[in-house]
Amino acid sequence: MSSPSLLLGPDTPWILSPDEPEPVRRALEDVRNDWYDVMGHLPLLLDSPPESVSGPVIYLGSHHSRLKELVPESFAAPECFLLRTQKDAGGRSSIVATGSGIRGAIYAIYCFSEKILGVDPWHYWVDKRPVFSGRVEVPAGLDLSFGPPTFKWRGWFLNDEDLLNGFAPDPLRENVFSLDIYDKIYETLLRLRGNMVVPATFPFPDERCQELASRRGLALHMHHILGLGLNTYRWPDDIPYSHSKHPDILEAHWKTCVDAFRDKEVIWTIGYRGKHDRPFWVDDEEGAPSTGKQRGEVISRAMARQVEMVQAVQPGAPMVANLFMEGNQLYRDGHLRLPEGVTPVWADFGNGMICDGGNVRSGEGVYYHTAMMNNRSNQLTEMVSPERIFKELGRFVRAGATEYLLLNLSDIRPVPLSSDCVMTFAWNATPWLDKNPADTADDFLLDWSRRMYGDGIADKVRTVCRQYFAAPFMRDEERTLGEHYLSSWILHFHARQFEPALGEKDDLFGKMDRLADAVIEYFHPDGLPSFPEFLGGTLPEGLAVARGNIAHFEPLAREVETLLPKIPAFRREFYRAHIGLQTHLHLHLSHVLQAYILAVTALMEKRTEEATAQIRVALTHMDKVFATLRAGETGRWRGWYRGDQFVGVEAVREFLRQVEAMLAGRIIPMQRQKTRYEKTCQIVGARRRDVSFSEKMRYERICEYQTPFADHFPLLYSKE
């Protein structure tokens, strides 16, 4: 015989301590809003249950004196928590949500919202607003315990945040985007039981986004470029950058950053890289070492000094060293020595395949991506499949490498499915380890589809999601490609192919080459990074990718549309904006690439009329790309994609417009200002410039809010 249910209504009181710390109070405020959505009234908040109340009461938090009576047992570890029904000292039926420490209490509060009120942790990003019911039934025998987590440190890196920057700029221009959006991000991360955050690509230690994260209960962290939090992106041009020649300069700035963080909970990143995402020896102009052994020694000495500085203010603080790019090779070659107590962190390079070479060991960690800006991966669509996530992160769990997991998810909203998969596994990997990765991924996709769309349609949505991730270029582990590839191919191809194919004196291709340079200069003031050879820059290789995508996504797009009327009405908007939008975006960008390559092929054979027709086909599909993106900007997401800079769909369209005009003998102005300063591009007759890549210029729009504070380096605000 089943236990009777507890009936919660709008007048069911919450019993809270007035002494809860600020992070817990902020979580309670979030769930107070959830209660309002579900019950239609704000909750009744009391510091003790009234004698007149005989019905159920709800105990939330960690500081109330009665919680010691209700939960006399000790928690197994930090961040553990429980949610259960029981009788309190007055004999009342009670719901208790509490945990170990501040974050355990926060997780318990959000768990109450998820399990009792039905509020999904992703509700803000997936348009799944809590549903009003006015009452909620809770099984009287509810007894749930959680933790300890699989990965000790679990967090997000908000990287290459062009969409967030364009969508919600900070009104005071003192953060890369508004603190209101930051607050939603931190709330979501805590609902998913994360505990650390890297709040931006190039933040200063004293930016408000750092303070808000700390007050939310998150540990602060810094990524692989910003050792000890030093924002080298803003390194002054007139100051030498060399720890070998001028250690006093770097160490003074490191100390300033350490002092800025000293009263916060921090997971410190140690490391010595260049001013941007590159090796230090690129920026060290005063005799940088040339051998791997010498370079490893320089980095090792710098890291040892950084550890000393951290230990002086936070003895025993957690520290990590990212084995990223050059660090990976130096470490594997035995040239890099990590100080004692520093956790090695392996990384993938955007495709979800972790580059540890099978060398991962117990106690290590992982830096993982579900989105990445690198001209071949993804920022507007999902790309890293759950199967790959379970396979790769499963290797680390089985090896005991569970000290740390940092997830780079760029602008968040395009990648909720894959990011939810990572965070679910990071908290509790055990239920997902019994099966092979393919079957486990299938289970996860069904669970996701149920949460997003309901039981009745979940299996069909799972099939669509499974087919989406089965795209040939997504499944290829060595050459995984996202929508970045489709746009970058067009903007890079000219510089690599026109002159070798026809010679520098060919007037038509010379003009086309200069056109592409002008578009790049207009949209990306100092160029784009080189197009890696292994991605396939030849015409046949690019055409094969485009046609393979079209063959895959055309039938999938039909299936997506066929399923749409069967999706519950209140979930169709997200269905269109997520799997629908992303399927059509891949399809139309692949048509654009195919048409462009056919146009180039025709031009090489002097078939100008056919080339013009193909450019117009490409432009037609670009119109469909933008219509697809606009259709995904409903409700609160109006203008979401206007900040796109790194995938560069606007730049691709502009280039194709310019080519069409050139083939017709016309010149048209570029009227859309996408950079910080207005550009005047003289196309015909201009000499093709050397398109070199500068990280600093690439982030100019996103980080321009920092410019007025340049004199305060290495902080945003004055130290006075």
Q: Please give the backbone phi and psi of residue 137, each rounded to the nearest 5 degrees, phi first.
A: -95, 135
Q: What is the mean pLDDT of residues 296-305?
A: 96
Measured distance CA(288)–CA(576) in Å, rounded: 52
Residue 297 falls inside a structural domain: yes
Pair (613, 488) in one structural domain = yes
Q: What is the mean pLDDT of residues 650-663?
A: 87
Residue that finishes a domain, picked among 479, 498, 515: 479
**Taking Cα atoms as reference points, which of 573, 535, 530, 580 lies closest to residue 557?**
580
Contacts of 445-454 with C-beta under 8 Å, sequence gap 24+, read: 445/386, 448/417, 448/420, 448/421, 451/120, 452/126, 452/128, 452/571, 452/574, 452/575, 453/567, 453/568, 453/571, 453/575, 454/568, 454/571
Range list of H helices, 116-159: none
Q: Is the pLDDT of residue 545 over 50?
A: yes
User: In 3-state terms, what secondary structure has residue 691?
Assistant: coil
Confidence of residue 521 (pLDDT cuts 50, 70, 90): low
**Taking Cα atoms as reference points, which of 690, 680, 692, 700 lies closest to residue 522?**
680
Pair (101, 78) in one structural domain = yes
With beta carbons less than 8 A apart as the criterion, state whether 407 and 440 touch.
no
Pair (615, 490) in one structural domain = yes
HSE toward the beta carbon, residue 343, CA cutoff 13 A: 28
- Tell me the per-residue pLDDT of 237-272, one tens digit each, with 9 for 90 and over: 999 999 999 999 999 999 999 999 999 999 999 999
Cα torsion 593, 594, 596, 598 to 10°: value is 160
Q: What is the DSSP string of 566-610?
A: GS-GGGHHHHIIIIIHHHHHHHHHHHHHHHHHHHHHHHHTT-HHH
1: buried, middle or exposed (CB in 10 Å: 19+, 13-18, 0-12)? exposed
- Tell me the per-residue pLDDT of 345-392, one tens digit each, with 9 for 90 and over: 999 999 999 999 999 999 999 999 999 998 789 999 999 999 999 999
Cis peptide before 714 (omega within 30 of 0): yes
Q: Please give the backbone phi and psi of residue 219, each rounded to the nearest 5 degrees, phi first.
A: -75, 140
Which CATH number do you get for residue 589? 1.20.58
Q: Which residues of 453-491 are buried (b: 16+ CB within 10 A; e: fewer)?
A: beeebbebbbbbbbbbbebebbeeeeebbbbbbbbbbbb
Residue that finishes a domain, picked among 479, 494, 521: 479
Pair (116, 195) in one structural domain = no
User: In 3-state terms, what secondary structure has residue 10?
Assistant: coil
Pair (528, 612) in one structural domain = yes
Residue 202 falls inside a structural domain: yes
User: In 3-state terms, what secondary structure has residue 180?
Assistant: helix
Q: Which of 85-89, 98-102, 510-514, 687-691 has the lowest mean pLDDT?
A: 687-691
Cα torsion 489, 492, 494, 500 to 10°: value is -100
- Tell me the per-residue pLDDT of 408-439, one tens digit each, with 9 for 90 and over: 999 999 999 999 999 999 999 999 999 999 99
User: Strand runs (DSSP E) across 131-249, as ranges?
Assistant: 136-139, 143-146, 153-157, 196-198, 219-221
* Predicted local confidence at residue 663, as pLDDT: 84
Confidence of residue 8 (pLDDT cuts 50, 70, 90): very high
Pair (462, 492) in one structural domain = no
* Predicted local confidence at residue 492, as pLDDT: 66
Pair (105, 24) in one structural domain = yes
* Predicted local confidence at residue 53, as pLDDT: 76
Measured distance CA(232)–CA(442) in Å, rounded: 43
Stronger pLDDT, 497 or 139, i.e. the higher one: 139
Pair (678, 718) in one structural domain = no
**Taking Cα atoms as reference points, which of 561, 562, 627, 559 lies closest to residue 588?**
627
* Predicted local confidence at residue 477, as pLDDT: 83
With a pLDDT cut of 90, the percent of the chain lying above it is 75
Measured distance CA(360)–CA(333) in Å, rounded: 15
Q: How many other C-beta atoms are found inside a 10 Å radius of the C-beta of residue 677?
A: 7
Domain that holds residue 312: 169-343+692-720
Pair (471, 492) in one structural domain = no
Measured distance CA(632)–CA(637) in Å, rounded: 8
Residue 162 falls inside a structural domain: no
Confidence of residue 473 (pLDDT cuts 50, 70, 90): confident
Helix H or strand E segment including 404? strand 404-408
3-state secondary structure 246-292: CHHHHHHHHHHHHHHHCCCCEEEECCCCCCCCCCHHHHCCCCCCCCH
* Predicted local confidence at residue 540, as pLDDT: 84
Confidence of residue 519 (pLDDT cuts 50, 70, 90): low
Residue 161 falls inside a structural domain: no
Residue that finishes a domain, picked among 479, 501, 525: 479
Q: How many other C-beta atoms are found inside a 10 Å radius of the C-beta of residue 143?
A: 11
Residue 156 falls inside a structural domain: no
Measured distance CA(489)–CA(535) in Å, rounded: 9
HSE toward the beta carbon, residue 65, CA cutoff 13 A: 4
Sort residue 273 into left (φ over 0), alpha (ψ -120 to 50) or beta.
Answer: beta
With beta carbons less than 8 A apart as the criterion, state whether 103 and 195 touch.
yes
Q: What is the mean pLDDT of residues 66-81?
A: 95
**Taking Cα atoms as reference points, which of 167, 191, 198 lies closest to residue 369?**
198
Residue 163 falls inside a structural domain: no
Residue 525 falls inside a structural domain: yes
With beta carbons less than 8 A apart as the criterion, state whether 372 and 379 touch.
yes
Measured distance CA(196)–CA(217) in Å, rounded: 9
Question: What is the distance between the terminal CA atoms of the chain, rounded to a whole angstrom?
Answer: 70
Measured distance CA(33)–CA(17) in Å, rounded: 19
Q: How many other C-beta atoms are found inside a 10 Å radius of the C-beta of residue 555?
A: 10
Asked whether the CA dihedral 166, 171, 177, 183 is positive or negative, the reply is negative
Which CATH number do you get for residue 73? 3.30.379.10
Pair (543, 683) in one structural domain = yes
With tokens 């109006």, the residue in question is 638
Average pLDDT, the chain: 90
Residue 164 falls inside a structural domain: no
Pair (292, 306) in one structural domain = yes
Q: What is the largest CA-CA distance in the chain?
A: 93
Which CATH number do you get for residue 199? 3.20.20.520
Q: Looking at the 3D structure of the chain, how many domains does it have?
A: 4
- β-strands 153-157, 81-87: how paired? unpaired
Pair (463, 526) in one structural domain = no
